[in-house]
Amino acid sequence: MRLGIDLDGVVANFNGGWITFYNQEFGTNLTPEVVDSWDGIPAATHFPSMRQFWDWARYLNGASLFRHLDPYDGAVETLWDLAKEDHTIVILTSKPYWATHDTYAWIAEHRLPTREVHILDDKWQVDCDVYLDDAPHNVYDIHHHRPNRATVRYVRPWNHPVPGTFDVSNWDEFRAFVNNHTP
């Protein structure tokens, strides 16, 4: 099967990454639990808007924030296991234009088992059998535009159930879903 996999918030720990840099630069002690809504970063920081946050995240230690993220535990290993089972790993990620090169470098550094990467907003435009995402709008849009495909929500505090989609809370659950799913 073709597995459409989101990066940030699913494979890459976006909140853990920006919070580490923010705490170091501004002397705070934020934890990932402060992010409980989509685009909720301004409420947890001194940034008045997401635009100011992105301006800051664009240049951190010689690269954008997206170059410095750690993968979630089990993410890379599970993707490799699924690829070894003859599933095609298709990366579907949304990024600012200035993060494109850092995204490819991150994928290479962490050796994700993929030959196909799409950086786009409308992820449903890429046909996959199973989609895995954490962004509320992406989960809804994918399911709406691809109702005959499996849309899986990676459960996070900033998203909510979408009728007709499936939920997983960790990579073991996603692997079990894929192994038990028939397109």
pLDDT in tens, 64-96: 999 999 999 999 999 999 999 999 999 999 999
Domain ranges of the chain: 2-13+71-180, 15-67
Answer yes or no: is pLDDT of 18 > 90.
yes
**Which residue type occupies 36?**
D
Query: Quick one: pLDDT at residue 175?
Result: 97
Q: Name which of 68, 84, 98, 82 is nearest 132 in CA terms.
A: 82
Digit-coded pLDDT (tens) for 101-159: 999 999 999 999 999 999 999 999 999 999 999 999 999 999 999 999 999 999 999 99
Burial track 91-120 (b if 16+ CB lie within 10 A, e otherwise): bbbbbeeebeebbeebbeebebeeeebebe
Three-class secondary structure assignment of 19-78: HHHHHHHHCCCCCHHHCCCCCCHHHHCCCCCHHHHHHHHCCECCECHHHCCCECCCHHHH
Q: Take residue 150 and report the two structure tokens written for it.
A: 């499996």
Query: Quick one: pLDDT at residue 182?
Result: 83
Q: Which residues pair with 88 in a beta bridge?
A: 2
Answer yes or no: is pLDDT of 183 > 90.
no
Q: How large a percentage of the chain has pLDDT more than 70? A: 100
Q: How many CB atoms lie within 10 A of CB 149?
A: 18
CA geometry: angle 4, 70, 16, nearest 5 deg: 100
Q: What is the second-level CATH architecture of the domain 2-13+71-180?
A: 3-Layer(aba) Sandwich (3.40)
